[in-house]
Each structure stands twice: as structure tokens, then as C-alpha cells.
Amino acid sequence: MAAELVRGQNHPLNRTRLEIRVSAGRPVVAGATLADDRGTVRGPGHVAHPGAPALPGLEVPRQAAADHRLAVDLDAMPHDVHRVTVLLALPTGTGGPTRFGAVAAPYVAVTGLDGDELASYTITGLDTESAVTALELYRRQGAWKVRAVGQGYADGLAALFADQGVPDAHALAGAVHQAVAQSLARTVAPAPLPADETQVRAAATAGQAVSPLPPTAPAPAAPGGTPPGPIDYTHPGRQAPPSPAPAPAAGPGDGPAAPVAGDATGWSMEERLYNQVWGMFEDLARTAAAYRSAVDFADSRMEQELDKVLSDPRSRIGGQADAAREAAAAKHAALVDRAREALDRDLAQLVAESEVVEPALPAPYAGWDNPCWHAYRSPMEIPMAVRLGDMRLPESDSVGLRIPMLVRLPLERGLWIDAGASDPEALADADELRARAARTATELVARLLAAYPAGEFSVHVVDPAGTASGALAPLVDAGVLAGPVARGTAGVAETLTRLTERVDLVQMAVRSGAVDALPPDLDVAEQLLVVHDFPHGFDDRAVTRLRYLADEGPRVGVHLMLVADREDAAEYGPLLDPLWRALLRLTPVPDDHLADPWVGHTWTYEPPAIPDGSAVLRRVLEEVARAQRERGL
């Protein structure tokens, strides 16, 4: 049973892999310090905060938020660390509350990776304090315990750090608040987790046992139809949420439980809906696999029975052969009918679930026809994922079932909008296909801009020949791009040079541990480069830089969206094969190119479609532009 602690009380810990959960009602900064047996923190390198979120055995959030999760592995702590102190602080310069007395009492809980709560503490009695030591995990005689502290500091983080003996406490406090204000940590990829812990977290997020493969988003098929390896879209650093309350048992005559939006594991409604959508993807994949397997078995059984009949010359005399064929066909039909009944039942349940989930989706997950876009406002925090389209299987076409294709943010790989026709009969007019590809790119850019808070996502566009001017007009007219659309060979070279230099600069700063030394005027927002009509306007040097951005950019917050027909770049031969494989292929028209490495299905991708006559794109971009102007961008 979980212990509810009061100030000064301690409680033994029977686990070493822990999660510290913080709920504050308002955005707060969360961090932790590592101290020796005297309670002294030896330096900034022993402080985990949004600008330096990972230390051995410890990882803290990278931005201010109302809810936090800190990952702790006590077995991985250095031997000289005897105390892990969790701290909270109110962010500065945001116009929000400046003292904890003006916000709800923060709640801190220590849980296992499975969500079981071990101890909790509500920090009460705070008034003018803007920073607080919430609790500490300490080593005593070889065992670890947790103690509720609740020590507040009216002078903020600087006083807290100074109290723990941190050298140059004021500079460190300033660096923490600067990292929060600039979201600097988002340009640095999180450190990889141990393999076994990653599997535990991914499986718990999906509500599975640890042994099965974690759910993965479909990977694009590689050239020649061979799919690359599975792509893990589990959230980096996200840990096991608590299990939802069990549903009441159904009575003997009850049918399936009525679907409920958000009926999945997760700390927030956003996370629960995300997990529910991917649960629907898994369910559709499983039921389709079961149906196909049953039909294959029925076909194989009928063939075996017919072969047995025809192999015996005596059975060919009279009506025995006809009777045997009819019997085999009847058994085959019965097996297929039973399989179809099971499929129809599962599809009906999934359709019912989709009907309650779709209207409940937040804007980043919602289709363009969802009414939530009419009330869209620029968000305060980055969502878990963004919807890039829909997926379907042939078995679900009869009921019109589509599964939202949600991709984690920040993007783990670039996007390729294929302007070439994979199916010549899908769209005969090549010019119309290219125009649709440009419009699809614009709509996806709008979705990404709408998902990020103002100032945290910058978009650069390269259109060497100006052939996408019409499709790009909504972005240009709204004024949401980072600069004018780059034209000609010179524009291509200048844009690529600027972004590759940014990647080099951030990489060098990260490798040398000198992130604080980055130029103050560096745009720390996530960057997206949209390249239209590749490779027009690209020379060999520009192609090399583009490949570099595709490979190295996502690790430091620079992403690529390529709008191109692969045949146009055929002259480069296999030189560009790594580029195409590094990008997630999307199409402007429905196309069955998504290879599912989980159960082996081929899924049809459908791009996000704006309803005819709708002004939703214009309204969303106007709101993005308004939020950018308020931020002075």
C-alpha cells in the first residue's frame, strides 16, 4: 500500500527503478541534484535540469509543464552519490505566478515502472517561495529510502542551489531558466535508454506483456517492395502509466462493452487517446490477420481434400467425384463464413470505437473535418504526436474504417511526399499529381505549425523554379514561414548552407558539453526544410548537403520534407538510395505502400484531406500567425 508522507517523514523503497511523478496544476520546472554522503552537490555536472536533462541513473523533463515524470535508476547511480534531491521551480519571464502560494499545492509521487505508487507527498504550506525541494531519495546502510522535504526558497533556484553547496549557483539558476525559456533542450536528442528498460516502457505503454514486439507504426516500403526494419514510435523517455480502473464485468447476456473515448492507459487524456488509436491499429491488424489465416486454411484444406479424391481412380467413377467436390466446397464455405462472421463482429466493434474516438481527438490528432479546428488556438505545449493521414486495410473498406496515422513529435525521420505515380491508373495526369503533392506538403506543414507553440517550429521552403507558388500561397500569405521562399540555384545553396552550419554548430556544442556557449541569437526552434521539385536547382554539392541534413538533422532538431518524383533523380543512381530510405514516404493520393513489419500487412495510406469549400486551413494559419506576432516573431 502506498505511503502518504508528511513533511520530514521517510519510507523505505523496495525497488531501484523508479518514476517520480509531479502534478502541479500550473507549468513548473522539474530537476534533481546528486549529492555525496554530506549532502553536498559538487558542481553543475551533478544537477539534472531542462538544459542538461540526463545524468547516470537519472533523467528529468526537458521543458516546463504542469505534469512531469522523472526516471530514476538507483542501481545506475555512481557509488559516491548518496542523495537524489528532486526540486521544483516556477519558470520566470512567462507572466505566470511567481510564488507557490498562488498555485495549487504540488503533488509528488514515487512509483515503480508498472505504475504502482510507493509513496506520495503533497507539498503544503508554501507562500512566497518560487523554488522548493520536494523530496529526496537517500542511501542508508546499503538501502534506499524516500523522505518528504518541502523546503521552499523565496529567492528561487539560486538560493536552493547555494543551500546545497553548488558552486556558482546564480549562473546555474540562470542557465536553467534560459533553457526553459528557449526550449533549448529540444534541439538535442535524448540519451538512449537501456534495451530492457525501453522494452518494459514500450510494452507497458501499449498495455502488453513485455515479451511481444512493441507496437510500431507501419514503415514505408523500400525500393523493390522490401520494407526496412521496424520503426519504434514509442515516446522517448515516456514511462509506464498507471493501469485504468477495471471495467465492470459484463453480465451473462451482455454484448461487448460500449466504447469510451480515452479508454486506455496514460497519464493524460492526450496520451490515453494516442494509446487507444494505436490499440485500434493493433486490433485491426490482428483481426485481419486472423481472417486471412482462416481463409488460407480453408483453401488449403479444400485443395487437400480434392487432391485426395482425384488421386484415387475409384472415386472418379459415377457421382463420387462430384459429391466429394460439393462436400469440400461446403466445408470451405462454412469455414470462410465463420471467419467472416468473426471479422464482421470485430469490425463492427472497431467502427463503434472509431465513432466515439474521432470526435474526441485533439487538434493534432484530428482530421481536418473535426469541429475542434473551429476553436483552434495555438498550444502552450508540444503534443505527443501529429496526424499525417489515415491507414486502412482491404478488409476494413466495406465498413469505411480508417485508423489515424499518428507520428511522434519531434519527428524521428524526414518526410517524402512522392510526386510520382506508383500506380499509373491512379492518376493519369502527371501535372495534376505534382500539384496534389505540393498541396499535400502545404497541408502537412500547416499541421506541424499548428501542433507546436508559437516560436518553437520554423519552416524554410525551397522552390527553385517557383512551380509550387499556388500551393504555397496559404503559407506565404499568412506570413508563417521563417523567411521568403528560396528560388533558383543560389537560393538553394544559401538555405542549405545556413541549415547545415546550424547542425554542425549544435552537434559540436553537444559533443563538447558546451551547449551554453551557443550564440544567443541562434534560433533554437525545431526547423523544417521543405524542398519542392527535387532535384531541380540542385548541384552535386547541394545534394550532398541535403543528404547530410536528412541523416544528421533530426538529432538536433532540423527536419526535411521532400516533395519529389524519384524518377527525376534517376541520374544519380544508387547514390541517393540512402536518402529515400531515410525518409517516411507519403503520397498525395491513396496508395498501398505502407509495409507493416509487425504482422506483415500492407496498409493503404490516405493523405489528410480538407473538405471541399472549407476555410479551415486559412483559419488555422491565421491563428498560427497571430500567435507568432504576439511572441514578436
The answer to whether residues 75 and 172 belong to one domain is yes
The answer to whether residues 418 and 402 belong to one domain is no
Least confidently predicted of 26-30, 403-407, 418-422, 567-571: 418-422
> Residue 152 sits in a domain of what CATH number?
2.60.60.30
Sequence-separated (6 or more) residues with CB below 8 Å from residue 540 = none
Strands 414-418 and 583-586: parallel
Query: Residue 616's closest CA among 373, 304, 270?
Result: 373
Query: Residue 216's closest CA among 199, 228, 233?
Result: 233
Residue at 109 is within a domain? yes
Digit-coded pLDDT (tens) for 500-543: 999 998 888 877 777 677 777 777 789 999 999 999 999 999 99
The answer to whether residues 15 and 129 belong to one domain is yes
Residue at 27 is within a domain? yes
The answer to whether residues 432 and 400 belong to one domain is no
At residue 318, the pLDDT reads 61
Average pLDDT over residues 378-386: 91
Q: Which residue has the higher pLDDT, 512 or 295?
A: 295
Residue 483, all three cell numbers? 523567411
Residue at 196 is within a domain? no
The answer to whether residues 428 and 349 belong to one domain is no
pLDDT tops 70 at residue 316? no
pLDDT tops 60 at residue 428? no
The answer to whether residues 530 and 424 belong to one domain is yes
Residue at 7 is within a domain? yes
At residue 65, the pLDDT reads 83
Q: Give 422's pLDDT tier (boundaries 50, 70, 90).
A: low
Q: Give 547's pLDDT tier (boundaries 50, 70, 90).
A: very high
| CB-neighbour burial class of residue 340 (10 A; exposed 0-12, middle 13-18, buried 19+) | middle
Residue at 74 is within a domain? yes
Strands 558-564 and 526-534: parallel
Last residue of a domain, one of 124, 159, 182: 182
Residue at 220 is within a domain? no
Last residue of a domain, one of 140, 160, 182: 182
Sequence-separated (6 or more) residues with CB below 8 Å from residue 620 = 373, 376, 446, 450
Last residue of a domain, one of 121, 154, 182: 182
Residue at 245 is within a domain? no
State the Cα torsion 557-561-567-569 to the nearest 10°: -50
At residue 244, the pLDDT reads 42
Order of strands across the sheet with 558-564? 457-462, 526-534, 558-564, 414-418, 583-586
At residue 84, the pLDDT reads 96
Whether 101 and 127 have beta carbons less than 8 Å apart is answered as: yes
Residue at 269 is within a domain? yes
- How many residues are recorded in the chain? 633
The answer to whether residues 464 and 597 belong to one domain is yes
pLDDT tops 80 at residue 192? no
At residue 255, the pLDDT reads 56
Q: Give 229's pLDDT tier (boundaries 50, 70, 90).
A: very low
Domain that holds residue 446: 414-630
At residue 541, the pLDDT reads 93
The answer to whether residues 403 and 452 belong to one domain is no
At residue 263, the pLDDT reads 83
**356: three-class secondary structure by DSSP:** helix
The answer to whether residues 391 and 427 belong to one domain is no
Mean pLDDT across the chain: 83
For the chain, how many structural domains are there in total?
A: 3
At residue 259, the pLDDT reads 84
The answer to whether residues 574 and 465 belong to one domain is yes
Average pLDDT over residues 135-141: 90
Average pLDDT over residues 126-141: 92
The answer to whether residues 88 and 160 belong to one domain is yes
Q: Which residue has the higher pLDDT, 119 or 224?
A: 119
> Residue 478 sits in a domain of what CATH number?
3.40.50.300
Least confidently predicted of 150-154, 480-484, 600-604: 600-604
Q: Give 209's pLDDT tier (boundaries 50, 70, 90).
A: very low
Digit-coded pLDDT (tens) for 9-22: 889 998 999 999 99
The answer to whether residues 404 and 428 belong to one domain is no
Q: Which residue has the higher pLDDT, 232 or 63?
A: 63
